[in-house]
Amino acid sequence: MARTQLRSKRKASSGRYHPARSKRKSELARLPTLTHLAEKRTKQFRVQGGNIRQALLSVKEASITDKKGKTQKTEILNVLENPANPNLVRRNILTKGTIIETKLGKAKVTSRPGQEGTLNAVLI
């Protein structure tokens, strides 16, 4: 069965919404891109309007910005914490908000690597 981004068929009161129309191809969803720690690999998707979107499948470096606004690329050593889901830490999966350990120190991921194709972070 296809994954979709439609609203639920059921109301909060457990009543049923009667759909005004059928599903559309533009409403299809895709499986989450679980970006992990390894050599850089990307995947391209065709999205609405014929545009191309990149997703990071794996990455080893991040663009780190310090308090002064200076940005530099550095290697990621480890995934320390993930407030979204603690199970992602054991699997070394990077999402927005993940706390990572780099050669410059601890940093928090500010980009969405599975959606934007880049990994940006700020020092904490």
Considering the domain boundaries, does residue 65 fall inside one?
A: yes
Report, as an integer, the average pLDDT of 83-90.
94
pLDDT-derived band at 25, boundaries 50, 70, 90: confident
Q: Which residues pair with 118 in a beta bridge?
A: none
* Interatomic CA distance for residues 21 and 117, integer angstroms: 34
Q: Is the model more confident about 2 or about 68?
A: 68
Considering the domain boundaries, does residue 18 fall inside one?
A: no
Structure tokens at 116: 């934007």
pLDDT-derived band at 54, boundaries 50, 70, 90: very high
What's the chain's average pLDDT? Answer: 93
Q: Is 98 exposed, middle or buried (CB count within 10 Å of its CB: 0-12, 13-18, 19+)?
A: buried
Considering the domain boundaries, does residue 36 fall inside one?
A: yes
* Interatomic CA distance for residues 54 and 51, integer angstroms: 10
Please give the residue range of the domain that contains residue 82. 28-123
Query: Looking at residue 65, which CATH number applies to its domain?
Result: 3.10.290.70
* Domain count across the chain: 1
Region of residue 14 (left: phi > 0; alpha: psi -120 to 50; beta: else): left
pLDDT-derived band at 8, boundaries 50, 70, 90: confident
Considering the domain boundaries, does residue 21 fall inside one?
A: no
What's residue 55's pLDDT? Answer: 94
Considering the domain boundaries, does residue 75 fall inside one?
A: yes
